Structure formats: C-alpha cells, structure tokens
Structure 1
Amino acid sequence: MNGLKTTNAPSSSVVIPHFIYGGISLIILAVLLVLADTYLLKAYFNTKLLAITHIAVLGWASMIIFGALYQLVPVVFETALFSEKLAKSTFWFSSFSVLFLSYSFWVGSYVTLLPYASVFMFVSLLMFVVNIGLTYKKATLKNIKSTFVITAVFWLFITELIGTIIALNFKFNFLTQIHLHYLKIHATVGLIGWFMLLIIGVGATLIPMFLISHELKEQKLKYTFIFINGGLLMALINWFLFQKNEVDILISLLMIGGIFFFVSFIYDSYKKRLRKKLDVGMQYSMLAIAAIFIPFILIGFMVFNTTIEVEFLYRISTFYGFSIIFGLITTLILGQTYKTLPFIVWLHKYQKLVGKMKTPLPRELYSEKIATVQFILYFVFIGAFVIGFLFNQILFIKIGSYALLIVALLYNVNIFKIITHKVKSVENE
C-alpha cells in the first residue's frame, strides 16, 4: 500500500474486529452450506438459502468491507473518519443484528422474530451510513472514485430500507405485490448498487496502485457510473410502476455496458503495470474481475429466454446470486485481505520503528503457502458449485461445500497469524 496517506487512518481497534468477525462468519457460512445440503438446489427463497445469503452478504462480505472502508475512506476522501466511537458501536450492534437476522431466516420465523431482527439490522446499517455520509461531507477530495463509494453507501441504505419493509410486511401485510416481487428489487439493489458500485470505486483506487499503473483514463469510470446507476434507477421505476419486460432488456444492456467500461479501465491498468509478477492477493483480484460479466450474462439469459423450465430457472437464479457473492465479492475480499490487513497491522506496529530497526514487509506477516493452498481449494469450490448448479448434482455441491470450509479455516489461520504478529526487536546495524 505504498503511496497511501496514513495521517487520517483510524485506530486499528476500529478496523481489525471487523476482519475477525468476517473470518468467523465465513466459517459459519461454510458450515451452513454443508448443513443446507439439498436446499441449495431448491427455490432461492427457501429459509435455509435466505439465511445463508444474509450471513454471506452481511456477516462475511459487508463486515469485512466496513472494516476495510474505515481504513480506506480517509484515504479516498482525504479526511479523518467522522466518529471512531460510532464505528465501534456500529460493529457491536451489527454483530448481534447479523446473527439475529440469519437465525430468524434459518428457523423460518417470519412473523415472530424476523420483523424485530430486520429493525435491528436497519438501525445498525443506518449508523454506518451516517458515519460515512458525515465523513464524506467534510471530505477535501471528491472525485469519481469517492463518488462511487458514497453512492454505493446510499444504495446500501435503500437496500436495507426495502428489506425492512419486506420483513415488516410478513407481520402487518400492507404491500400490494407478493414478497418475491420485492425480494427481486431488494437483491438487485443490494448486489449491484451496494456491492458492485463499491467494488468498482475501491477497485479503481487499489488495483492500479498495487499494480503500479499510471496515466489511466478515468473517463471510462464516469461512463461506468452513469450506465450502472442509470440502469438501477430505471429498474426501480420499471419494477415498482410498469413491470415491462422490454425495459428489463434495456436495463441489462446499460449495466453490461457500464461493466465493460470498468473492465476496460482495469485492463488498461494491467497492461501499463510496472509490477509484472502478481502475488496471491492480486491473483484473486484478477480472477474476480474476469468473473464480473457472469452475473450479467445470467441476467440476459433469464430475460431473453422465456421457455426455461421453472426448476431450472430457480437454479439459474441461485447461480446468479452465487456468481456475485462468491465469484466476484468473496474472491475479491479473499485477495484484498492479503493486501490490506497486513498493511494495517504493519502500520500499527512498525510505522514508528522505521529507521530504528529492521522491519518486515507486510506480506511477511502471513503464510504465502497457506494462502496459495487456499487459492487452489477456492477454485475447487467454485468449479464444484458451478457443475452442481448447472447439472443439478448434489454430490458436487457437497464437495464444494467442504472445500469452502477448508478455505475458511485456512483463511482464519492467516488472519490470526497477521493480527497476533509480534514485533521483532532486531536493530539496524
């Protein structure tokens, strides 16, 4: 992370707990996949799959992202985090809310527990949104990358608002359409508006920096921003008011066009890179970028193909969510953890010792062998699940579930190794 300004960086006590909780959530997620078994090949709105989805996007992905953003937002916005106390309170409130919400889905308590769990979750995410929003308000640097980040945070608020309304409707029954209609909107806004836009904003900042790439055309990022947000706004208007299939086609084309410009920007960065050899963190990141078109291809397949059997459509819909959560988000997080967390810990423990003693490189704080084995097994997990979803093969789903469990354990070993690193007192001669 050379080149990052660290004067506004928050205390490590704000950031590191998020990585610990996220790592544990990844283990829980893998265990739930093993326990869910055949439920993974059923309709995507079954209780087990909903619980798994929420522990994945909130306990694992969002919690890691919150921690990373607390470190990166001061860099992207060039100002200190609005409130570290609010960030710590948000962590504990979110930690409880994620478990409460996921348990409510797992046991299918839609009327008794889910409405209350969703309100807790909404409040915890609102605390995060307010903290980032007020940080952005006093930002000294506002460019296309910071615009991506704050817009993603706005879509997170909309996502959780829609989710809370859906949950409350189970108890009070005030919505006019069936729950699945609103669930589609909730999932799309969350996966595209929150995760995809955030990945683009942060990725456009970090990937060129790690590759050491210069003189990139940011105009492509502006096109990406316009196309994807235009598609999201059009989707909300169409799905709430008109529900026209022809408009869905235009929405898909807009989003695919936006992603094309982003991938083109990353490809330019890759071509102009000065650092030719990719470490395991960047291998993960490049794999994620390569997979970014898959969910949009699946959307196009579902929109254009009107003769799909219902059972196969359900599996494709689940595969769509899988392609974003695991093909893109988790792949990127696994890679960027090895770029960000070692630097955060190194900064906390060695920044004041530079020049006074020999200091290790951030990548020396974890085991590259463990990270490499983890990378290989993650390929096994992805491949097995793809085969399982497309060909309705539970055996491959089981193989993939156990492979992810091992990945999660290895990931946590390295996380523990990084955060428990002890300063070695070897003075310079």
Structure 2
Amino acid sequence: MNDLKTNNAPHSSVVVPHFIFGAISLFVLAVLIILADENIFGVYFNGKLLAITHMAVLGWAIMIVFGALYQLIPIVFETKLYSEKLAKFTFWSLVISVLLLTYSFWEGAFSNLLVYAALLMFFSLLLFAFNVLFSYKNSVLKNNSSRFIITAVFWLLITGLLGVLMALNFKFNFFSEIHLHYLKIHATIGLIGWFSFLIIGVGSTLLPMFLISHKLNHKKLSISYYLMNSGLIGLIFNWFLLQLIIVTLVSWILIIVGILFFLSFIYDSYKKRIRKKLDIGMQYSMLAIGGVVVPIVISLIVLIGFNFNFELLSRITTLYGFSIIFGFITTLILGQTYKTLPFIIWLEKYKNLVGKTKTPLPRELYSEKVATIQFYIYLLFILLIPIGLLLNNTIIVKVGSYALLVVSILYNINVLKIIFHKVKNIENE
C-alpha cells in the first residue's frame, strides 16, 4: 500500500459521491432497459436507446471513472490533484447534465432541452479536463500510462464537442450528412479514443500492481499508443473527408492491432504474477480483458460487409455497442470498484491506526458473498442480452434486463456497505 502515494490522495469527499451516483445510475440504467422493452430491438438512433446509452456511458461509466481517476492521479502522475474544489463543482455540474441529457433523449426533446443539456455536459468535461491537465503539468512522472490518460482526455473533449454540434444540428440543421453518420463518429471517438485509451492508461498501472507482476515489456504500450492513435485519426479523417472503405479497413486494423499489443502486455503481467489467486475484483477485470475480443470480431464482421438486412444490421450494431459498454467497460468498472473503493475508505478510516491496533483488510469492508453472487448473475446478463438480440427474442432480453437489475441492487448494497463502514473497536495487539 505504500506504493499508492497515499500522501497525495484527495479527501474522500471528492471521490465517494461519484461512486454513489454511479451506483444509483447503474440501477436507473437497468430500469430504463426494462422500460424500453422492444425499443431495444429498434434502430440505434431512437430516443429510448440513446437515453440508455448516455445513462450507461455518462451516468454510470464516466461518473465512476472520474471519481476513480481523481484518486488514481497520485499513483499515475505522482502528484496531488490540482483542485479538489473544482472536482466537487464538476461533479454537480455533471450530475445535472446527465439527468437532463437522459430525460431529453427519453422524451424526444431534441430541439430544445437537449441543446442546453449538451452544452452543460461539455462545460463539465472542460472542467474535468482542466483539472487533470493541470495535475499532469505539476507531475514529475511522464510515462506510457500518463500519456494514455492525457490523450484520452483530449479525445473526451473531441467527443463532447461533436456531441454539442450534433445537438445544435437538431435545432439549426447545418450538417451536410445525415445524423447517423456523425453519431458513428461520436460513438467511435468516445468508446475508443476516450474509454479505451483511459482504460489502457490506468489498467497498465493498476493491473500489474494488483497482480504483483514485474519486469514487463513496456514497449508494447508505446506501440499500442501510436497504432491506436494513427488508426483513430485515420478513421476520423476518412469519415469526414474521403469515405473510402479501404481507409476505414486499414485504420480499424491499426486500432485492433494496437489493442492486441495492450492485451499482450496484460497477458505477460498475468503470466508473471506473484499473486496466483484472483479475488472477485480481478476475476471481473480478467473477464473484461478477455471480453475485448467480442467487439473486435463484431466490428470486423460489419466491416467485411456481409449482406445483412437492415433490421439484422441494427441489432448487430446494438450488440457491438453492448459488447463494449457492458462486456468490456462495465465489467472492468465492477471489478475495479472492489479494488479501489474499499482502499479509499480504508485509507480514510484506518490510515492513522496502522501499527497502533489491528485493522481489517480493505476487502473485508464489503461482502465477498454478495460480490460473488453479483458476478455470476452478471455473467447471466452478458450472455442473455446478446442471445436475445440475435434471436430477436424479447423474453430472453427481458430476463437479461432483470438480471442486470439484480446486479445493480447487489452492487449498491456493497458500495453502501463500503462507504458507510464504521471503524470497529479493535483491541491493541
């Protein structure tokens, strides 16, 4: 634990609200999926599906990621967070914008409320970026992990800017292409440029640390960085200007190869690990890393261009988004919650007691039994939804949706148990 630079850690009041709102958002997300019913099978540009996607990405994933990143900056950057007050203000700005965006999409208020919600969201992202960038400026450590994170923040701003332009286009209609074209770019930059780069940046530091792995080949991360950036820039340039299939294919292959280099780095870390037994957090994390293969395969199938009818293509596209948001991102977040949040709370409550009395381990702050049940029900969820989508079966999707609801309840139970943990009276050794 000494390796975690605890002296630079922000106060828990900066981090904890993000986990609380994120946990609630996961529950709301499950409810929205149930209420959406057959809209799940519709084209990916419908209000209900957009509301679900933005609640998943912004209310759930980004909220947890922001909170975790505020805590992890001392680890990756080896410096304090630039401004804790700014982080707290950003949290409330983000909460309001998430709620407004989700409501706007769900109710189909595309030409009025959506514009203001998108502008507020972009403002929140700018504040977050400002805080991270100035923290990085004060950092003495510049490595592959920090480079991935800073680049991810850049792509996050591009994603947010394009989102604002799309919202404004509903009102002023200035784009030359149909909305779906820009939605594709918006989603790709967000999922690959922001989430993938951030996960690689944080994961390349945390996963080897939790596995206790040493003597790794960090050149693989450098190769991954340049390949993924080249591919993403190629995609954006092509989709805006050229629109050539060959450029799309080459760019996508560069991104996939870059991701494979990262996976190879994690595989090396796994093979060289000293900690052989994986706890529930690392089981989730390894499942997430393995799950990256699914969206890679789906994306290649779509790019190759099999003759799918429009209805099937819509369901496959929805499945592609599902495999990234739930198969990869959510799975990793669920796992890392059980690695980061218990330590954050443990640090706050027991740091000054270390060496003076017996203290519990961070993993003892939550119920491992509840977390294990949650894990297997989540497996059921990520299996049933894809099957239901491919078979166009509403019953299977409904059962999968209720499985996610149970997962969200169990997750909330453990998150609240961790956050409201009370220091026990433990006798001196």
Matched positions, count: 429
State TM-score, norm by structure 2: 0.99
Please name the residue that 2:300 is paired with. Answer: 300
Please name the residue that 1:230 is paired with. Answer: 230
Q: Is the 8 A contact 2:235 2:252 kept in 1?
A: no
Whether 1:338 and 2:344 are equivalent positions in the alignment is: no
Distance 2:285 2:246 in 1: 34
Please name the residue that 2:247 is paired with. Answer: 247
Alpha-carbon offset, residue 74 of structure 1: 1.8
Please name the residue that 2:192 is paired with. Answer: 192
Alpha-carbon offset, residue 256 of structure 1: 1.2
Alpha-carbon offset, residue 3 of structure 1: 2.2
Distance 2:296 2:229 in 1: 15
Deviations 1:208-244 (A, max 9, x none): 0001000000000111111111111001100010011
Please name the residue that 2:393 is paired with. Answer: 393
Q: Is the 8 A contact 1:252 1:296 kept in 2?
A: no
Q: Is the 8 A contact 1:256 1:293 kept in 2?
A: no
Alpha-carbon offset, residue 175 of structure 1: 1.2
Please name the residue that 2:98 is paired with. Answer: 98
Whether 1:374 and 2:374 are equivalent positions in the alignment is: yes
Please name the residue that 1:108 is paired with. Answer: 108
Deviations 1:393-422 (A, max 9, x none): 111110110000000000000001000000
Please name the residue that 1:170 is paired with. Answer: 170
Deviations 1:22-50 (A, max 9, x none): 00000000000000011101111110000
Question: Given residue 153 of structure 1, which amino acid in structure 2 is its aligned partner?
Answer: V
Alpha-carbon offset, residue 427 of structure 1: 2.8
Deviations 1:76-119 (A, max 9, x none): 11111110000000000100110001100000010121111111
Please name the residue that 1:8 is paired with. Answer: 8
Alpha-carbon offset, residue 428 of structure 1: 1.7
Whether 1:130 and 2:130 are equivalent positions in the alignment is: yes
Alpha-carbon offset, residue 2 of structure 1: 5.5
Question: Given residue 43 of structure 2, which amino acid in structure 1 is its aligned partner?
Answer: A
Q: Is the 8 A contact 1:357 1:425 kept in 2?
A: no
Distance 1:427 1:15 in 2: 30
Please name the residue that 1:55 is paired with. Answer: 55
Q: Is the 8 A contact 1:81 1:132 kept in 2?
A: yes
For structure 1, list consecutive stretches of 5 or more residues without a partner in the other structure. Answer: none
Question: Given residue 419 of structure 1, which amino acid in structure 2 is its aligned partner?
Answer: I
Moved over 2 A (4+): none
Please name the residue that 1:290 is paired with. Answer: 290
Please name the residue that 2:347 is paired with. Answer: 347
Deviations 1:334-382 (A, max 9, x none): 0000000000000000000111111000000000000000000001101
Distance 2:225 2:99 in 1: 33
Larger deviation, residues 174-183 vs 361-370: 174-183
Distance 1:299 1:383 in 2: 19
For structure 2, list consecutive stretches of 5 or more residues without a partner in the other structure. Answer: none
Deviations 1:298-350 (A, max 9, x none): 11111102411111110111111100100000000000000000000000000
Please name the residue that 1:406 is paired with. Answer: 406
Distance 2:212 2:74 in 1: 21
Please name the residue that 1:310 is paired with. Answer: 310
Alpha-carbon offset, residue 75 of structure 1: 1.4
Question: Given residue 356 of structure 2, which amino acid in structure 1 is its aligned partner?
Answer: K
Question: Given residue 21 of structure 2, which amino acid in structure 1 is its aligned partner?
Answer: Y
Distance 2:112 2:78 in 1: 45
Distance 1:285 1:385 in 2: 20
